[in-house]
Structure 1
Amino acid sequence: MDGVLEPHNGWTFITNHARVLAVIADNQSARIRDIAAHCRLTERAVQKIIADLEQSGYLSHTREGRGNIYRIEAGKVLRHPAEAGLSVASLLSLLVQDEAHRADGPARG
């Protein structure tokens, strides 16, 4: 796969589902290939994650031409009991803020 960086091994703080959702929040018409490259996942893994998110009601899509336009249900509450009451919008606001800071370059401390 061209453009895909080395996969990460070991545990991480952010799940692949959250990463995919954050990329879609940034670009509702993103192609699976582009999402996969950004998240360092295979296209097949991204397809599965999108199916999971759609099945659980966090995401929907409509066909537009040859591509998809995704719609995130920002008001939907996160699934884990420890995050009871937190919405998808809350999660995405943290991830989008992180992306904005990374685009500016490394933090100076």
Structure 2
Amino acid sequence: MNEQAGKPAFLTHHARVLIVIARDSAARLRDIAAACDITERTAQNIVSDLEQGGYLRRQRHGRRTQYSLRLDGRLRHPLDAHLPVRQLLDLFTSHDSAL
């Protein structure tokens, strides 16, 4: 049994999906879903939400999808609206290059 089940999460699924895409812009929905511990359908819906919200763009390359993030976009919550998406992603991906 998952010991974390029922406890509040610090990051939303939307933030987690955005972080996974920031780490791998060619990630498949299956991989995004697995990394976030959500279903593929949920991952697909979240990617659509993020695209509609202006946080990313999708471009098809054959059978694969390439994502491009819009890092200068602003967070939506009024308390965070002064922060660009880039700052959030930097917190969670800046150590990745050191690996």
The question of 1:37 aligning with 2:34 is answered: yes
Aligned to 1:71: 68
Query: What RMSD, in angstroms, separates the aligned Cα atoms of the two structures?
Result: 1.9
The question of 1:26 aligning with 2:29 is answered: no
Q: Give the unaligned 5+ runs of structure 2.
A: none
Quick one: which of 50, 63, 71 aligns to 1:53? 50
Aligned to 1:16: 13
**CA displacement at 1:10 relative to structure 2:** 3.0
Alpha-carbon separation, structure 1, partners of 2:7 and 2:30 = 23
Counterpart code for 1:29: A
**Percent identical:** 47
Quick one: which of 77, 91, 94 aligns to 1:94? 91
TM-score, length basis structure 2: 0.88
TM-score, length basis structure 1: 0.81
Counterpart code for 2:48: A
Name segments (4+ residues, structure 1) moved above 2 Å: 6-10
Counterpart code for 1:10: K
Alpha-carbon separation, structure 2, partners of 1:8 and 1:22 = 21
- Aligned residue pairs, count: 96
| CA 38–55 in structure 1, closer or farther in 2 if over 3 Å, else same | same
